[in-house]
Structures are given as C-alpha cells and as structure tokens.
Structure 1
Amino acid sequence: MTRALLIVDVQNDFTEGGALGVDGGGAVAEGVTAFVRRTSGAYSVVVASRDWHDDGNSNGGHFADGEPDFMDTWPRHCVAGTPGADYHPALDASLVDVHVRKGQGVPAYSLFEGTTDDGASATAALVDRGVTEVDVVGIATDHCVRATALDAIEHGLHVRILTDLVAGVAPEPSAAALAEIAHHGGLLETSSVVAGPSAD
C-alpha cells in the first residue's frame, strides 16, 4: 500500500484572524508540521491544497453579492496572491511535495477539484505515484476536509481522518461530517496512533 498525506487549506484566511478563521486553525498548522516531521518517510507524497480565488469577480457565485449564507456564498477570502491565501506560517511548506490550487474562478471545496503547479489534476498526482491510501488533515472539518475525504473515498482510496489535526467551523456540523465520512468507510484516528510504532 502506498499512502499520501493530504493537507487541506491550512491558510491564513481560515485560521484565527482571517476572513473565515476557525478556532484551532493555528494549532492545526503547528500540529501538522510536527506530525510530518515525526513521520518522515511514512508518506510517498505530501499534498497540500489552497483556496486560490480570482480577484475582481464572484468566482462563480462563491463570493457573496451582499450577505453571505455561509453555505454556498461566502465573504471574500483566499484571493490569489494575497496574504490571506498564503499557508499559515506555522505550516512548514518545505515539507509539501505537491501544491494544489482550487477555486480559480469557480466554487471548489475538495482538494480533488484543484490542479497542481504544473497544471495536472490532483487525482493524477496521486495516481502517478500509485497512491491507494490517504490520511487527511486540515481545515475546515465541516466543509473542505469533508469534501476532500468523500471525494477520496469516491475515487476508491482508503481514507483516514486524523481527528486531532482538523478544525471545523462549528462543533455540530463538524461531528456530523466525521460521522458521514465514517459511514462511507473512512477511518477516524488520532495522529499519535498513526505516528506510533505501528505507523506504515
């Protein structure tokens, strides 16, 4: 089995003080960096996604024209090239092998909707490396982490969510998202168990 780590949207605008900041986002950034360093060599590839939205348009209705409903429409966030779209400084981007940008003019939640720096799909980046299993971490549990995990399962990958390395917008929908992922076959695990002696 070949395993990848998928780091979802650990960006300034999704962490404390950002346009759509969630509580615990900064701790996720720190925790993911520590985890990747601790598990060096355990993953065939580390992939990180970022929202990377266009400036000057609604990105297919993703940016609200007026009051956002926080389901389909949102305040402006993660505009390409702005500090809000940058990785959180506590996430060591040098540990990332493949960078994925998603959005770019259209609504996008799942890492699998993005493209790599060389224009390939995220799916192709994993297939090319023979990945069959993925661990998913990042922000936000109830939105982009959920979408990424469910897409991974749909693509036939074995999925684990590292529950101490995700942060959600709100407790109830985050718990519901984790339950939904588990219902579809995803495993819920902690990073301490994965990084232990039995980690592959």
Structure 2
Amino acid sequence: MAGFRPALIVVDLQEDFCPPNGSLAVANGRDITPSINSLLASPFVIKIATKDWHPRDHISFAANHEGKAPFTDFVTIVNPYNESESYESRLWPVHCVQGTPGAELIPELHAGQLDTVLEKGTDARVEMYSPFYDPFTSPRVCDSGLAQTLRDKQVTDVYVVGLAADFCVKNAAIDAAKEGFKTFLVEECTRAVDASTWPECKKEIEASGAKVVSMDDPEVRRLMTAQ
C-alpha cells in the first residue's frame, strides 16, 4: 500500500435530499447509507462530508424567480465579476437552507467518523454543484479550498459517494480528476435525481478521467483490506 493515500468525500447526504420528507428527495437516497458507513470504517487519510448550505435567497431556488417552476425551468447565472461569462442552470425547490433541519446530515450517517464537514453553495449569486468550486473561471467566484486540503494531506486517491449522482456527485468526481487525483465514484453509494440520465452521466465521468466502480471492485476492496 506504499504511496496509497486515499480520501473519502461524502457529498450532501442531507435530509432535504432524502425521503420521506426532503424537499428535493432523491428516490431511495437513504438506502446508500449502510454502504457509505462501511467505507467510513476504512482507513482513509481524511474523510470529508459536504453540505449544501444555501442562503434563503439562493439563485437556484425557483421560488426566487417569478413565474419559474422547479425541475423544468432554468436560469442564466452570470459571473458577478465578469459579465461575459455565464451558464444555464436548472432551478430547484427551496432546499438545504442554512440552519434548517433539511440542511442537516441524516442521522443514520456515522458522522462521528468524519474529519470535517465542508459547506458549499453559500454564495446566493452562483450555483455550486461541485464541492471544489463554482463553474466560473474568469475569475472564479467560490473556491472551497478542498483541492488544497487534499494536497496538504498528500492524498493520492479520492473516493466520491453521496447525493445526487447526476449533479453534485458527478461534479465532485470530475473536479477531483481535474485536480490530478485518481478518482473513483462508488456506484452503490449514490443515487440520481433522474435515473434515466445515469448511463450518460457515467460516460461523462469516465471521460473526465474518473472511474465508476462498485463495492466489489479491487479499487474498493483494497480499502477494506488496508485496516
């Protein structure tokens, strides 16, 4: 195992993303928790959970745009520091508002085994699916410092799990690979908002250099045997 220094990123395993009462519940979202807890028991260099932690006036909430509906409507998000840079982003129900029960990690998660919890999406002006940074580049609006944290820990491999597969988990894996880490998304440990899009999402993830793996694959089994 020389030179193998893995990190675990548990993405947004929060009440608002889970049945039965989440405002943006992902079907069967809670079902992934036992597998994630088994990973948390493995000897990672660092174990990080992320949380959407939105202000109530967040730009991604359909309720903040007159006449717009969640899931079906989009909004153009403009870089507040560079008006020439913009992107289209889907609108959502109000979710994971700072300090509300819906923003809390679900109690089934063995949070006592986490080293840190990173809050993202805190700037009302931008959508931030990735726990690393927002999609803007010229200049970037929000950088969580996650990449530097992993480098400071001399991490070599990043394992990504959590919710939702087709949005925040996908972007976490893509950006981890972009930052130069060997990256693995563990398929049993995630669920998609729209399961029909998952095959295409997997192609996009693999094209980034990250790899979609299962709990039975050697990339995951090596964690279990490293204890």
Q: Is the 8 A contact 1:139 1:167 kept in 2?
A: yes
Indicate the residue corresponding to 1:3 in structure 2: 6
Q: Is the 8 A contact 1:44 1:129 kept in 2?
A: yes
Q: Which amino acid aligns with 1:124?
A: Q
SS at match of 2:216: helix
Give how far 1:72 is off: 2.0
SS at match of 1:18: coil
Counting aligned pairs with the same residue, the percent is: 31
| TM-superposition CA deviations, 1:65-104 (whole Å, max 9, x none) | 2312365211100001111000011111111112110011
Indicate the residue corresponding to 1:45 in structure 2: 46
Provide TM-score, normalisation by structure 1.
0.87
Indicate the residue corresponding to 1:29 in structure 2: 33
Q: Which amino acid aligns with 1:8?
A: V
Indicate the residue corresponding to 1:62 in structure 2: 60
Give how far 1:122 is off: 1.3
Determine the C-alpha separation between the residues in 1 that align with 2:149 and 2:94: 29
Q: Is the 8 A contact 2:164 2:190 kept in 1?
A: yes
Determine the C-alpha separation between the residues in 2 that align with 1:131 and 1:196: 16
Give how far 1:195 is off: 3.3
Indicate the residue corresponding to 1:108 in structure 2: 128
Indicate the residue corresponding to 1:195 in structure 2: 221
Alignment partner for residue 174 of structure 1, among 165, 179, 198?
198
Indicate the residue corresponding to 2:77 in structure 1: none
Q: Is the 8 A contact 2:18 2:30 kept in 1?
A: yes
Q: Is the 8 A contact 2:40 2:110 kept in 1?
A: no
| Structure index of larger Rg | 2
Alignment partner for residue 186 of structure 1, among 200, 210, 213?
210
Give how far 1:199 is off: 4.8
Distance 1:198 1:12, change over 3 A: closer
* Uncovered stretches (5+) of structure 2, i.e. residues with no partner: 74-88, 135-142
Q: Is the 8 A contact 1:141 1:178 kept in 2?
A: no
Determine the C-alpha separation between the residues in 2 that align with 1:151 and 1:196: 23
Distance 1:10 1:102, change over 3 A: same
Indicate the residue corresponding to 1:156 in structure 2: 180
Provide TM-score, normalisation by structure 2.
0.77
- Runs (4+) of structure 1 exceeding 6 A deviation are none
Indicate the residue corresponding to 2:84 in structure 1: none
Q: Is the 8 A contact 1:29 1:88 kept in 2?
A: no
Give how far 1:129 is off: 0.4
Give how far 1:3 is off: 1.0
Determine the C-alpha separation between the residues in 2 that align with 1:90 and 1:170: 24
Indicate the residue corresponding to 2:16 in structure 1: 13
Q: Which amino acid aligns with 1:62?
A: S
Indicate the residue corresponding to 2:165 in structure 1: 141
Q: Which amino acid aligns with 1:98?
A: T
| TM-superposition CA deviations, 1:157-180 (whole Å, max 9, x none) | 111111111111122212211121
SS at match of 1:192: coil
SS at match of 2:16: helix
